[in-house]
Structure 1
Amino acid sequence: MTKAGRLVLIALALLCCAILPVHAGVADAPGEKLEISLITYGPGDIYWERFGHDAIELRDAASGEAVDFNYGVFNFDEKNFFFNFARGQMHYLIDAEPTTDEENFYAQAGRSVTRQKLALTPQQAAALRDFLFWNLRPENATYNYDYYVDNCTTRVRDALDRALGGVIKARLTKLPGGMTYRQQTVRLMSAQPWLMLILDLGLGPYADQPLNAWQESFLPEELQNNIRKVTIANGNDATQPLVQSETLLSPNRLATPPATPPDLRIPLGIAGLLLAALIVVSWLRTRPVYVALTNLFLLFAGVAGLLMLVLWTLTAHHSAWANTNLLLFNPLAFLLLRATWQARRHIAPSRLANGALLLQLIALLLALLMHLLPGVVQQNQPWILFALPCWLALAWTLRHIRSA
């Protein structure tokens, strides 16, 4: 090749380099090249996966680079992690991962993956990208996690709403939600019945407040559904849907949570009646069985009440505060353990035990009256139906021991 030919090739190469995009990825892509999507992952099998998960995807249309930003990272190795978890001071982080790696992980686990492409303007897309990268800085990455009002989904929701100038919140706060925090929790945890019952027992009146669609969007599934209802200005004195397109990238291959929460009144009511009947029958026929059953119930009532009291007074778990289930199960039960233990020898309860039993029956009546009064928020009918026959059976047997 002649020298002139080589110069021509060099010139052509330099020209090609000059006209190639200078932006190599989402970090510095211009707003008009950024595609913004909400990625929603369905619930998993493990209890901490039952609520689902989501992320914001940034995709550079020029380079094809795509990154998922999610707020659901926590570190077991953090100092005092379990102590902080117990007292309601959990620290979560934002993280960024390549979209392909993230989506493949959930798809291989059998969880659904859905992409909703959103109609953000170039300015809004760039502002969202800048905010997410700012949030990734070590000094900004950590936040105090709350199950209902500040979790990995509400952070995604708030970031999108911030970029859109408050459009999402303005729309969704005007729409009613479908369920309460308690109903959503029981529904999604129904695959783990014991954990579901523990959570339902431990939730206070905060979990029964009516929600609007904005508040109920603390769940990935609800946020996915609710943003379909949001419209934004299209720049031509008209509006358009926020969701431009929706694609199911991977179908769900796991058991689907029920659409409605299970009604716990019937199973817990039946369980209470059965336990009460066993207490009475065993008192009449087999005192050792009576002692075992009553002590088991009293230990449950005392420990449950102690834990609920600790959650209310010593932790930041505000969804467990002012729990009226404390009227049904509380540490007074510990004062009756000796009385039921001595029943095997037909020893009448002490004055202390009689006083504790009287206080417990008054608390039981108060719980029943509070539930019947209008305007009561906490929905704890299942636990009233369980506790009422058990306490009445226990009181009846102790009364007969006293008169023997």
Structure 2
Amino acid sequence: MHSPGRTPAPTRLGRFIASVASLLLCCALFWPALASAGVANAPGSNLEVSLITYGPGDTYWERFGHDAIELRDTVSGEAVTFNYGVFDFDESGFLLNFARGQMHYLMDAAPSDVDQHYYTEVGRSVTRQRLAFTAAQAADMRDYLLWNLQPENARYDYDYYVRNCATRVRDALDKALGGTLKPQLEARPGGMTYRQQTARLMSQQAWLMLILDLGLGPYADQPMNAWQEAFLPMELQREINHVTVNNAEGRAQPLVLDEQLLSPNRLDAPPATAPDLRLPLALAALLFAVLLLATYRFAPLLYALLGSLYLVLAGLVGVTLLILWTLTTHHSAWGNVNLLLFNPLAFFLLPALWRSRKRLSVSRFATGLIALQLLAVLVACLLHLLPGVVQQNQPWLLLALPVWLVMAWCMRRPQSVNASAA
């Protein structure tokens, strides 16, 4: 799935440079107070806390946007952004951990002007929201972020939806505010589901959007509140405008004191709503089904090749979904009922498909598999009549149903009586 982190895979030289830069930054942050104060040692009354939100990028792992917490010493002018979106392709076992759903991300910090310059250069929007923190809350935030930045505390177990760069920022803000952020956001309904937000933001990479939608299980269709939907940086940016906090005198005031667009977006913006995949996939299924019928009648070899392509893809998808459910921690893929539509049993229908090319009868085993597959499709349809959270896989139902019906008809229509069973 997507990766909200912004850092590309570093080379060894890049990692060395990044390590030196991080060391210098840590030295600057932790250096004892000298003639002038800085973020690390300024009193809380001098610290300004802001939420920085970066718009979506072009690369697939940038499509969900990014964010950071900025601490600014209003006396010295020093400003540092802290973010939770760093990953390393060169980490030992990275690809295997990614496949298992056991990814590790890192916290990082950088001077604000350096960090924001990168996003401005690549055309991504940069927005600063200055937050109403008391002096004590600002100092607590600073102390927590500096603690979190230490190497032994910087790494965390990443999850696409519940532990990512935005949720870690959200949780840090809530912690510093004494837990006032969470109940207010939980009381507000979310606008979309995980599935809808994923499809919306990945729609510019249609092939990846389809793969992700196919792989998401019912977990992705649960209703969300604003706290959960703040797994997206842009949703967190929008929702905190509705939050109020108490100031030092105990009076309620908006959490966001002001909002400033530091750099406008120069890239193609994602759509406001998720695309409806039902009509495109239904049309694709009807076209393929008609093609199967035509080739069955006029070009049997092409019919067998097209049918084999479908069965192999259905089997491979089924194996992948089964692995995601049983052998990984990708909980958003568990319980995926698309297994009823595409499953490993499709491989066993290949011999029957090739026999039907020559109008030969198929075995009882193949007949049973065909009946079982049609029953599975029927069950997948009937599941939508159940109450509660039901996996919204109508596009894939519309894709699978016509094709399975045509293949069942071709393999089970009256065959040559003299042919032996497969």
Give the structure-1-normalised TM-score.
0.93
- Partners in 2 of 1:394 and 1:254 — Cα distance? 44
Structure 2 unaligned blocks of 5 or more: 1-32, 418-422
Q: Offset at 1:403?
A: 5.7
Checking the alignment, whether the CA contact within 8 Å between 2:101 and 2:330 is kept in structure 1 is yes
Which residue number in structure 2 is paired with residue 323 of structure 1? Answer: 336
Q: Secondary structure at the match of 1:39?
A: strand
- 1:245-300 CA-to-partner distances (Å, cap 9, x unmatched) read 10000000000100000011111111111111111111011111111111111111
Which residue number in structure 2 is paired with residue 301 of structure 1? Answer: 314
Q: Secondary structure at the match of 2:306?
A: helix
Which residue number in structure 2 is paired with residue 3 of structure 1? Answer: none
Which residue number in structure 2 is paired with residue 251 of structure 1? Answer: 264
- Partners in 2 of 1:384 and 1:151 — Cα distance? 31
> Which has the larger displacement, 160-169 or 352-361?
352-361
In the TM superposition, what are the counterparts of 1:97-246 in structure 2 within 5 Å?
97-246=110-259
- Partners in 1 of 2:410 and 2:191 — Cα distance? 45
Q: Offset at 1:344?
A: 3.0
Q: Which structure would you say has the larger Rg?
A: 1
- Partners in 2 of 1:159 and 1:226 — Cα distance? 16
Give the structure-2-normalised TM-score.
0.89
- 1:150-192 CA-to-partner distances (Å, cap 9, x unmatched) read 0010000000000000111010000000000000000000000
Checking the alignment, whether the CA contact within 8 Å between 2:51 and 2:69 is kept in structure 1 is yes
Checking the alignment, whether the CA contact within 8 Å between 1:37 and 1:117 is kept in structure 2 is yes
Residues 1:235 and 1:403: Cα distance change in structure 2 (over 3 Å):
farther
Residues 1:212 and 1:376: Cα distance change in structure 2 (over 3 Å):
closer
Residue identity matched to 2:404: W
Residues 1:385 and 1:403: Cα distance change in structure 2 (over 3 Å):
farther
Residue identity matched to 1:384: L
Which residue number in structure 2 is paired with residue 262 of structure 1? Answer: 275
Q: Secondary structure at the match of 2:53?
A: strand
Which residue number in structure 1 is paired with residue 12 of structure 2? Answer: none
- Partners in 1 of 2:407 and 2:243 — Cα distance? 56
**Correspondence 1:277 to 2:277:** no
Q: Secondary structure at the match of 1:92?
A: strand
Checking the alignment, whether the CA contact within 8 Å between 1:370 and 1:376 is kept in structure 2 is no
Q: Secondary structure at the match of 2:48?
A: strand
Q: Secondary structure at the match of 2:395?
A: helix
1:54 aligned residue (60, 67, 71)? 67
Which residue number in structure 1 is paired with residue 8 of structure 2? Answer: none
Which residue number in structure 1 is paired with residue 406 of structure 2? Answer: 393
Checking the alignment, whether the CA contact within 8 Å between 1:347 and 1:401 is kept in structure 2 is no
> Which has the larger displacement, 128-137 or 366-375?
366-375
Q: Offset at 1:23?
A: 4.2
Q: Offset at 1:401?
A: 5.8
Q: Secondary structure at the match of 1:38?
A: strand
- Percent identical pairs in the alignment equals 64
Q: Offset at 1:350?
A: 2.2
**Correspondence 1:39 to 2:85:** no
Checking the alignment, whether the CA contact within 8 Å between 1:54 and 1:152 is kept in structure 2 is yes
- Partners in 2 of 1:396 and 1:191 — Cα distance? 37
Which residue number in structure 2 is paired with residue 74 of structure 1? Answer: 87
RMSD: 1.3
Q: Secondary structure at the match of 1:140?
A: helix
- 1:165-222 CA-to-partner distances (Å, cap 9, x unmatched) read 0111010000000000000000000000110000000000000000000000000000
Checking the alignment, whether the CA contact within 8 Å between 1:335 and 1:352 is kept in structure 2 is no
- 1:211-238 CA-to-partner distances (Å, cap 9, x unmatched) read 0000000000000000000001124443
Which residue number in structure 2 is paired with residue 15 of structure 1? Answer: none
Checking the alignment, whether the CA contact within 8 Å between 2:134 and 2:248 is kept in structure 1 is no
Q: Offset at 1:56?
A: 0.4
Q: Offset at 1:340?
A: 1.3
1:289 aligned residue (302, 309, 315)? 302
